[in-house]
A and B are shown apart, each in its own frame.
Chain A
Amino acid sequence: MGLLSLSSCFTAKERKKKYKEEIDIRFFTFSGPPSSGKTSVIIKTALELKKKKYKIAVVKFDCLATDDDKLYAKNGIESITGLSGNLCPDHFFISNIDECFNWAYAKPYDILISESAGLCNRCSPHIEGCTAVCVIDNLLGINTPRKIGPMLKTSDITVITKSEIVSQAEKEIFAFKIRQANPNAIILHINGITGQGANRLSDLLEKTPQIDSLEGKELRASMPSALCSYCMGETFIGKDKQKGNVRRINFDSIKGEAVSEKL
């Protein structure tokens, strides 16, 4: 899998030299399960930020195809897309994001937003020192907060969408579960269609610190290692075909917890 090819990247120093000023940029990671409303929320929020004269770019990470670039373009928001093919988009994310950052820095944009939907509910793009937003919707059900890993549990802001199509009680129950899963985060209800609530998010994002580089920054949570023979293209079933990190269901445990093996 190749890296995203981005032309004209310069370093922080070069940019400062070129623009003769110390304007750094803000970088936000937006993540959430597929179809939770990430693009809708980013668009509504970006439009609010644009009103305040910020120049914004979005980089979308996906596997095979996405139409999000068209949605962004339709709303006058510049975006680039990175397709990870057969890699988890969040693994792909981390090996490309510093280049993306440098590209946005050089352009120069004031704000860069990344959108990604980790496939496994275990990966998370959130980076220490960059504001992390998790977008999750009310239709996902009350057990979802449990099933989603660090992308929800380490976010700074959790946005809940699609509240207008559930009852008040369900909305309150869901928000409570989210609060339990991540007591630390600010919870915001945003309607991805009307944009109600997006100006609050834009106010919060505007108050976050600026940075001049991603180099040396660290992921908030490690990504799971997924190096088995099937990662490498194996397609046959059978014990002798399995190599690397393999986990097996333990049939002696009622809950079916898995046991790891290295082959």
Chain B
Amino acid sequence: MKNYNKIKSMKVHEMLNVYPYSSEFFNINGLPQAGEEVSVHEYFSSLPYSVLQDIGASRDELKKRLDLFIDTMQNMFSIGMPDIKTVTIVGGTAKDGTVENISLTVGIGEVLCIAGNTGSGKSRLLADIEWLAQADTPTKRKILVNGRPFPDSMRFSAENKPVAQLSQNMNFVLDVCVKEFIELHAQSLIDKKTAEKTKNIIQSANELSGEPFDLSSPLTSLSGGQARALMVADIAFLSRSPVILIDEIENAGIDRKKALRLLSSNKKIIIIATHDPLIALSADKRAVMKNGRIEKVIKTTPFEKQTLSRLTEIDEFIEKKRKALRNGDFLRE
């Protein structure tokens, strides 16, 4: 009870000053507001029995919880995100049980694309990486970090997980507005530059989506494209995870190339499953999946890079026409 002993003679408002997050302790435990001038100790002593009964905890237990709460909030991110330089996929077995003979390393700043037909195992591979698998998934793959297995203590940590995923779903479920959403996320990461990042996120998200929205928009009312754009911008500016996984963003209604550029600008390792030639060729290399195994790994060739600029032109041409039609124009020569 070292934290509790430190604070028990403080006035409640002093405690809230020193440990700002401790106000959430009262909220989340359903405890009544404290008078400003009572000490923490007095506060607990004066809690009516009926409140304790409602909560189902004794005074001593509440004190213990507060002690632990402060401890946890202080130490939550103090271990820090490990310094990750490479991620290596060590082959396991294919769907038919044959050996997947591969060791594929991706370094910081690189983009790896996963290509392959539907059902070939792209999502499964991403799930293995997300899980930092140690031969404990159906594929028996191992994922190494900096050439070594990742320690279990960090692998299963809810807070210091080095892998973030841009999920395939295109809707939010949280019932708050965009501004509150960003603030909540920043809070949960104990991030201090909330105001600045909020500005960056909403601006980037608007650049990506093309359908403008603002900070007061309810999160659940965003269109698929807007939601996706916000998810991308949120990961780019707030996520602490050095490894980003993306599963098929092609149908997301956002500027995919800009999204990829934004995500890869921050010294991250990006692994992206895609059917989209524009994204595939923007990557440094691509793994081709077949039957649940990585069949081969291809480095994007100079010729392919040339083709990419041609494809980009075509894509822009199509996009222009789409916009025109959407606006009610007709196409002229």
Contacts and interface: CB of A to CB of B under 8 A. Distances in A.
Interface in B128-177: 131, 136-137, 156, 158-159, 164-167, 169, 172-176
Interface residues of B, number: 49
A142 B50 contact: no
Contacts of B29: 146, 153, 181
A164 interface: yes
B165 to A, nearest CB: 6
A165 B184 contact: no
A224 to B, nearest CB: 7
A173 B29 CA distance: 17
Nearest to A140: B173
Contact of A179 (B72, B174, B175): B72
A170 B65 contact: no
Contacts of A184: 65, 68
A142 B172 CA distance: 13
A188 interface: yes
Given A150-B56, A169-B181, A183-B68, A176 B173 contact: no
Nearest to B185: A169
A7 interface: no
Interface string B46-62: 00001001111100000
B164 A168 contact: yes
Given A141-B174, A179-B76, A179-B159, A172 B57 contact: no
B188 A172 contact: yes
Interface in B159-213: 159, 164-167, 169, 172-176, 181, 184-185, 187-189
Contacts of A146: 27-30
B10 interface: no
Interface in A129-186: 138-139, 141-142, 145-146, 149-150, 153-154, 164-170, 172-173, 175-177, 179-181, 183-184, 186
Of listed A175, A177, A180, residue having the most chain B CB within 10 A: A180
A196 interface: yes
A136 to B, nearest CB: 13
B90 interface: no
B262 interface: no
B28 A177 contact: yes
Contact of B28 (A150, A169, A181, A222): A181
Contacts of A200: 156
Contact of B187 (A122, A176, A186): A176
Contacts of B68: 183-184
Nearest to A158: B158
A173 B185 contact: yes
Interface stretch (B12-20, B93-101, B234-242): B234-242
B231 A142 contact: no
Nearest to A184: B68
B56 A142 contact: no
A142 B184 contact: yes
Contacts of B55: 149-150
A117 B169 CA distance: 29
Interface in B219-260: 227, 231, 234-235, 238-239
A44 interface: no
Contacts of B238: 169
Contact of B173 (A139, A154, A172, A187): A139
Of listed B50, B156, B166, B172, residue having the most chain A CB within 10 A: B156
B167 A167 contact: yes
A224 B56 contact: yes
Interface in A177-205: 177, 179-181, 183-184, 186-189, 194, 196-197, 199-200
B231 A222 contact: no
A124 interface: yes
13 contacts: A139-B173, A142-B184, A149-B55, A153-B29, A168-B167, A176-B187, A180-B28, A181-B28, A186-B156, A187-B158, A196-B127, A196-B137, A222-B56
Given A150-B56, A154-B57, 12 more contacts: A146-B27, A146-B30, A149-B55, A164-B167, A165-B173, A167-B227, A172-B185, A176-B187, A179-B76, A180-B72, A197-B131, A222-B53
A-B complex: 7 closest residue pairs judged by Cβ atoms: A176-B188, A221-B56, A183-B72, A187-B158, A150-B56, A183-B68, A169-B185
